[in-house]
């Protein structure tokens, strides 16, 4: 019998029996000895085979679609039977498993006899009959009387499926039915054999021979995957509240090295963001220098440090040129007149200067956030702000009342500090608590918060909990079901037009459900207005359709110096291989910048070496959050930025070999990138000498071997001192750097040497074992 979720696992149709004139399906587990009896099957003419060596699996009446690369067979019983990648003559579907090619979910059964026979609960129905009418599949389903027409377009690079229509027969039911009752449906799904890789974002199953993906060619298409006995079901669906008719998706099956070509064709055919073109651009490789305060007055300082770090791109946060007050003025987008007195014209001049310097500019914004002090919130809150839960006044609300009576249970209403805000009409009200037994109440209310005006409201009036951001409680989320996001998008597009060329969609998680649609939908409402189209984009959250826009995935928030290496292992280094399976990359930033003080050793060269080298292992860029005051005040800034510059040059030039990249994927082995005597890059593994200088945090030292000789690279975290070491002086060579060819003087003292310890230097030590060198540095003394 039909029941909730029964279609997702191993059941097959056994037979049909009569019930009040209605065909009712019964089910037995997969593998049963029971035979399968066909129901109302419509015979379709077989298509001619284009792959002579392949033995067809289609029976009379089955539907066959094929192009030069793939042959798809849909059973006349509504199941997916075969998907053959023709160049390799390889079956891609799970062998021995039967899965309906389509399912429909209703809130409850609507056909009268089904409603009487089965529980009134969310119910899913499987396809059980398919026939072909021209370029349309006509799909029938168990227990329900209407059918679905799915238009199929055979393209050289993909097969596209469009939910075309619902075929409803009014006379079949005891109820009037003009529209088919559908909560959601999967209008096409396939059970695929697992392969070496699975990209959970792009929804792609692939190996070195073939790649199969279900690709959204419509932002309304819901593309999902489901694990099935170690394999995968890829599904293209539509949801009633988002859109049903006209929703479409493409099945791409091809050689893995042709996948991006075929996706690029689909993006071109259907006017989608050019995600493939972005990933193939030269600019895609670039790391960026992030700044929140770039303006005409400090431009030269920022340019200096960007140059020192080898950056060819700069991401500018909106706070650099817009009045922000934290995030609290978000949405107004009023110019910072003290730095940009002429508004957009001054911004254009700044961006033009960057362009002349060979640095591309990016725009960092929070597109779905509205500040709590913005004109959209106070003194009269905009009705288009999102409300997380709606209530009805159970009794009239007086102007001075501090308890609000509601009909619905406020259970699980927001209780975090600064997020307990109700909107009723044009008033905002804070609360301290609520009751979860009748009478339902919000208690401890403060009226007219955020400079709104208290007002009386009658019983039956609606109110809701304002969807205040969980990050800092300074902004509220836009409701994506109205046009406020479009209004904000127009403002952002106008700013972007000043000369920006890439962007960051920050706060992308800040939307109302359904998230699978609204995360990418909000991004799309902005992205499609940006001219020229961004060279690349990143974002804080992603869903399937975002793949076309967020070609570089995401960056992580900053981590303190003491935890940076472990955070790199735990977050970007863990995500990078998963993103590679999605044919994309991530940003290994954002890296913060700390000056050493009593609380931290500060940002040090080895930390940036580790982050940069792990990023390079996966061909990923990184970014650093600029802090000009920190750059100025940190004595190791030249060394730190030199590390970033070398690694950026290496990635942009494609210098690393595949073997070197594999070495860098070993997260427990650190590496250093040298410029040797020939001014050429040289990669060496190195290891930290722990507890150097008697455990002082001031000295950092790392040991490596080069040309069969041991070397130590060492420095002071912030000072300019000397280090007393027990090393044989005659076997010592001290230098600033290999490529500079400059020797550094040192002195002797009673069988020991005294070397300067400040910026990063290299010392070559011949004739000593590794453990002897380590011990010498551990026992070294810092002297003034």
DSSP-derived 3-state class of residue 123: strand
Using an 8 Å Cβ cutoff, are 446 and 418 in contact? no
Angle at 213 between CA 208 and CA 219, to 5 degrees: 150
Contacts 24+ apart (CB under 8 A), 336-344: 336/295, 339/295, 339/296, 339/297, 340/295, 340/296, 344/494, 344/495, 344/498
Largest CA distance in the chain: 108
Spatial separation of the C-alpha atoms in residues 640 and 591, rounded to whole Å: 12
Place of tokens 């914004």: 365
Query: Mean pLDDT, 10 residues at a time, over the chain (784 residues)?
Result: 36 26 30 28 32 54 94 96 96 91 95 89 97 96 94 97 90 65 97 97 97 98 95 98 97 98 98 98 97 97 98 98 93 96 98 98 98 97 96 98 98 94 98 97 98 98 96 92 98 98 97 97 98 98 98 94 98 97 97 97 98 98 96 98 98 97 98 96 98 97 96 97 87 90 87 94 93 96 90
Neighbours of 122 (CB within 10 A): 15
Q: Assign domain 36-272 to its CATH architecture.
A: Distorted Sandwich (2.70)
Q: What is the structure's pLDDT at 175? A: 60
Beta bridge partners of 275: none
Q: Which CATH superfamily is domain 685-783 in?
A: Golgi alpha-mannosidase II (2.60.40.1180)
What pLDDT digit, counting tens, does each position of 456-484 carry?
999 999 999 999 999 878 999 999 999 99
- What's this model's pTM, rounded to 2 decimal places? 0.90
In our burial notation (b when 16+ CB lie closer than 10 A, e otherwise), range 490-520 reads ebbbebbbbbbbbbbbbbbbbbbebebbbbb
Q: Which two tokens stand for residue 778?
A: 């551990």
Cα first-last separation, the chain:
86
- CB under 8 Å, gap of 24 or more: what pairs does 345-349 form? 346/296, 346/321, 347/321, 347/495, 347/498, 347/499, 348/498, 348/499, 349/296
Structure confidence at residue 15 (pLDDT): 26
Considering only CA atoms, which of 702, 704, 693, 715 is closest in space to residue 760? 715
Which positions ≥6 away from 469 have C-beta within 8 Å? 327, 369, 475, 476, 477, 507, 510
- Tell me phi and psi for residue 723, to 5 degrees: -125, 125
Q: Which of 398, 466, 406 is nearest to 438 (CA)?
A: 406
Tell me how far CA of residue 276 lies from CA of 160, 247, 262, 582, 584, in angstroms.
19, 22, 9, 12, 9
Contacts of 648 (CB under 8 A, 6+ apart): 286, 287, 309, 310, 311, 312, 612
CA angle, 430 then 435 then 438, to 5°: 130
pLDDT at res. 1: 39
Contacts of 653 (CB under 8 A, 6+ apart): none
Is 85 within 8 Å of 210 (Cβ atoms)? yes
> Parallel, antiparallel, or unpaired for β 475-477 and 369-371?
antiparallel
User: What's the CATH number of domain 285-370+478-548, 3.40.140.10, 3.30.420.130, 3.40.30.10, 3.20.20.70?
Assistant: 3.20.20.70
Query: Taking a C-beta distance cutoff of 8 angstroms, is the pair 468, 419 a contact?
Result: yes
Q: What are the backbone dihedrals phi and psi of residue 701, each rounded to the nearest 5 degrees, phi first?
A: -140, 140
DSSP code at position 513: S
**Predicted local confidence at residue 33, as pLDDT:** 29
Question: In the prediction, which pLDDT does 177 show?
Answer: 67
Which residue, chain included where needed, has tokens 């902005």?
526
What strands, in cross-sheet order, belong to the sheet with 387-392?
Answer: 387-392, 462-466, 421-424, 427-430
How far are the Cα atoms of 54, 272, 524 from residue 210, in angstroms, in the given order?
17, 24, 30
Phi, psi values for residue 568, rounded to 5° = -60, -45
Phi (first) and psi of residue 476, to 5 degrees: -125, 150
Q: Are 433 and 427 in contact (CB under 8 A)?
A: no
The C-alpha atoms of residue 729 and residue 747 are separated, in whole angstroms, by 9
CB 155 within 8 Å of CB 269: yes
């Amino acid at each position: 019998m039909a029941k909730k979720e029964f279609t997702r696992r191993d059941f097959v149709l056994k037979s049909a029996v009569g019930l009040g004139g209605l065909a009712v399906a019964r089910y037995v587990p997969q593998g049963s000895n029971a035979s399968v009896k066909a129901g109302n099957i419509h015979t379709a003419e077989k298509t001619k085979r284009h792959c002579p060596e392949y033995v067809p699996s289609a029976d009379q009446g089955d539907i066959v679609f094929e192009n030069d690369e793939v042959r798809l067979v849909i059973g006349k019983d509504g199941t997916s039977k075969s998907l053959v990648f023709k160049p390799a003559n390889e079956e891609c579907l799970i062998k021995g498993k039967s899965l309906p090619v389509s399912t429909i979910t209703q809130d409850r059964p609507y056909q009268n006899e089904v409603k009487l026979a089965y529980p009134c609960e969310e119910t899913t129905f499987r396809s059980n009959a398919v026939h072909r009418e021209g370029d349309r599949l006509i799909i029938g389903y168990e227990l329900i009387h209407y059918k679905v027409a799915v238009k199929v377009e055979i393209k050289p690079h993909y097969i596209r499926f469009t939910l075309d229509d619902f075929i409803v027969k009014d006379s079949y039911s005891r109820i009037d039915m003009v529209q088919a009752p559908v909560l959601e449906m999967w209008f096409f799904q396939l059970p695929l054999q697992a392969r070496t890789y699975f990209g959970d974002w792009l929804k792609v199953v692939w190996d070195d021979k073939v790649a199969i993906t279900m690709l959204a060619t419509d932002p309304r298409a819901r593309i999902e995957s489901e694990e099935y006995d170690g394999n995968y079901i890829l599904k293209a669906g539509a949801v009633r509240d988002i859109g049903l008719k006209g929703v479409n998706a493409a099945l791409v099956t091809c050689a893995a090295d042709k996948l991006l070509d075929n996706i690029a064709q689909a993006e071109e055919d259907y006017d989608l963001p050019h995600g493939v073109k972005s990933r193939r651009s030269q600019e895609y490789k670039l790391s960026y220098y992030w700044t929140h305060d770039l303006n005409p007055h400090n431009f030269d300082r920022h340019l200096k440090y960007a140059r020192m770090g080898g950056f060819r791109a700069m991401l500018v946060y909106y706070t650099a040129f817009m009045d922000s007050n934290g995030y609290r003025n978000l949405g107004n987008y009023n110019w910072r007149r003290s730095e940009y007195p002429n508004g957009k014209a001054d911004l254009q001049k700044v961006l033009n200067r960057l362009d002349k310097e060979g640095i591309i500019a990016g725009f960092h914004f929070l597109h779905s956030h509205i500040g709590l002090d913005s004109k959209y919130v106070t003194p009269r809150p905009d009705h288009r702000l999102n409300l997380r839960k709606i209530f009805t006044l159970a009794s009239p609300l007086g102007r001075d009342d501090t308890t609000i009576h509601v009909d619905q249970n406020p259970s699980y209403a927001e209780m975090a500090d600064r997020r307990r805000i109700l909107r009723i009409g044009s008033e905002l009200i804070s609360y301290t608590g609520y009751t979860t037994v009748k009478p339902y109440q919000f208690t401890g209310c403060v009226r007219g918060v955020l400079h709104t005006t208290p007002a009386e409201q009658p019983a039956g009036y609606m109110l809701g909990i304002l969807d205040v951001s969980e990050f800092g409680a300074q902004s509220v989320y836009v409701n994506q079901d109205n046009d406020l996001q479009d209004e904000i998008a127009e403002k952002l597009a106008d700013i972007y037009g000043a000369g920006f060329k890439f962007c960051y969609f920050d706060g992308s998680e800040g939307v109302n459900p359904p998230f699978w649609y609204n995360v990418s939908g909000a991004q799309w409402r902005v992205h499609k207005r940006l001219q020229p189209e961004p060279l690349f984009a990143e974002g804080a959250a992603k869903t399937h359709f975002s793949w076309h826009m967020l070609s570089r995935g995401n960056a992580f928030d900053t981590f303190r110096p003491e935890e940076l290496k472990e955070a790199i292992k735990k977050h970007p280094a863990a995500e990078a291989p998963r993103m590679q399976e999605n044919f994309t990359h991530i940003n290994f930033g954002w890296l913060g910048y700390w000056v050493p003080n009593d609380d931290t050793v500060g940002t040090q060269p080895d930390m940036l070496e580790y982050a940069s080298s792990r990023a390079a292992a996966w061909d990923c860029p990184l970014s650093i959050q600029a802090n000009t005051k920190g750059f100025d005040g940190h004595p190791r800034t030249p060394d730190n930025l030199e590390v970033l510059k070398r690694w950026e040059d290496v990635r942009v030039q494609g210098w690393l070999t595949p073997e070197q990249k594999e070495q860098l994927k070993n997260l427990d082995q650190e590496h250093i990138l040298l410029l040797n005597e020939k001014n050429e890059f040289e990669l060496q593994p190195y290891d930290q000498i722990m507890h150097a200088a008697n455990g002082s945090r001031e000295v950092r030292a790392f040991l490596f071997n080069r040309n069969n000789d041991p070397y130590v690279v060492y420095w002071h975290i912030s000072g300019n001192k000397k280090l007393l070491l027990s090393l044989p002086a005659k076997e010592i060579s001290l230098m600033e750097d290999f490529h500079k060819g400059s020797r550094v003087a040192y002195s002797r003292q009673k069988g020991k040497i005294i070397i300067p310890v400040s910026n990063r230097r290299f010392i070559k030590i011949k004739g000593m074992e590794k453990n002897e060198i380590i011990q010498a540095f551990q026992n070294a003394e810092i002297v003034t």
